[in-house]
Structure 1
Amino acid sequence: MPAAGADEALERVCQEYFELGEVLLFAFENPQIQEWTDREKETESDKALTRLIERAHAEGVVDPGLPATWVSETMWALLYSAWQYARNHGAAKHASLDLCLRTFKKATAATGP
Structure 2
Amino acid sequence: MDAYALWRNLPFPRSGSSRELILAHSDLAEADEYVTTVIRFVERGIFKPAPVDVLAMLQELMQRIDRLGETVSSPDQAVARSQHAYAALLDLVYRQFLELGPSHS
* TM-score of Structure 1 vs Structure 2, range by shorter chain: 0.3 to 0.5
TM-score (norm 1): 0.36
TM-score (norm 2): 0.38
Higher relative contact order by CA 8 Å / sep ≥ 6: 1 or 2?
Answer: 2
Q: Which has the larger radius of gyration?
A: 1
